[in-house]
């Protein structure tokens, strides 16, 4: 008596099945990579926006406080504002376009309040408004200045592209202590 062993067909992946499986795996990995790159860029952009917005707010708050409490304007150019503060000390804001910084200087020292600032403009004006609008007349001299207009734009390079804040920061600040 002879025993016959049943032959089972051999199973395994054929070349075509292996190629299809590899293509599916590669597509899934590419989708995951694209999603991770998109997520990384989105998080970095949001961090950039929040960080620049924070710096803009601190700089604007400090500048507004200093101008409102100033006694008078000594000098004003598009990149420089020199004031006499409430303690009769000289206080200055100077924009350096090469370094892209706004620096606050007084007797206590100097501190950079804005970094990566693309443009900044100071302009002085009188308190009275122009006819039919909210604009103010430009001051003939710093001695007649009662209003300081300031605007700036900051940006950073992120992943090889320049990313701006939400918009140009602008303010019209009235000197409150002038004449006291």
Rounded distance between C-alpha atoms, residue 157 and residue 141, angstroms: 39
Q: What pLDDT does residue 8 have?
A: 65
Question: pLDDT tens digits, residue range 85-142?
Answer: 988 999 999 999 999 999 999 988 999 999 888 899 999 988 766 666 667 677 778 8
Ordered by start, the domain boundaries in the chain are 18-174
Place of tokens 């103010």: 136
CA distance 18 to 22: 6
Considering only 85-89, 163-167, 169-173, which range has the smallest mean pLDDT?
163-167
* Per-residue pLDDT at 125: 86
Q: How many CB atoms lie within 10 A of CB 136?
A: 19
142 vs 71: CA distance, rounded Å: 12
**Strand duo 109-115 + 101-106: pairing:** antiparallel
pLDDT tens for residues 131-150? 666 676 777 788 888 889 99
- ∠ at Cα 123 (119, 126), nearest 5°? 160
DSSP state of 51: H
């Amino acid at each position: 008596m002879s025993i016959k062993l049943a032959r089972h067909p051999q199973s395994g992946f054929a070349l075509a099945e292996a190629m299809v499986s590899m293509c599916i795996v590669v597509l899934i990995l590419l989708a995951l990579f694209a999603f991770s790159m998109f997520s990384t860029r989105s998080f970095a952009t949001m961090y950039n926006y929040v960080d620049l917005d924070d710096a803009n707010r601190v700089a604007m708050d400090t500048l507004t406080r200093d101008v409102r409490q100033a006694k008078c304007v000594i000098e004003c150019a598009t990149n420089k504002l020199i004031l006499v503060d409430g303690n009769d000390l000289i206080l200055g804001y100077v924009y350096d376009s090469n370094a892209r910084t706004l620096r606050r200087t007084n007797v206590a020292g100097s501190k950079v309040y804005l970094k990566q600032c693309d443009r900044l403009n100071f302009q002085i004006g009188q308190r009275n408004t122009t006819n039919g609008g909210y604009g103010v007349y430009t001051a003939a001299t710093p001695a007649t200045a009662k209003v300081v207009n300031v605007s700036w734009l900051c940006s950073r390079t992120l992943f090889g592209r320049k990313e701006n804040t939400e918009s140009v920061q602008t303010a019209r600040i009235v000197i409150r202590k002038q004449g006291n």
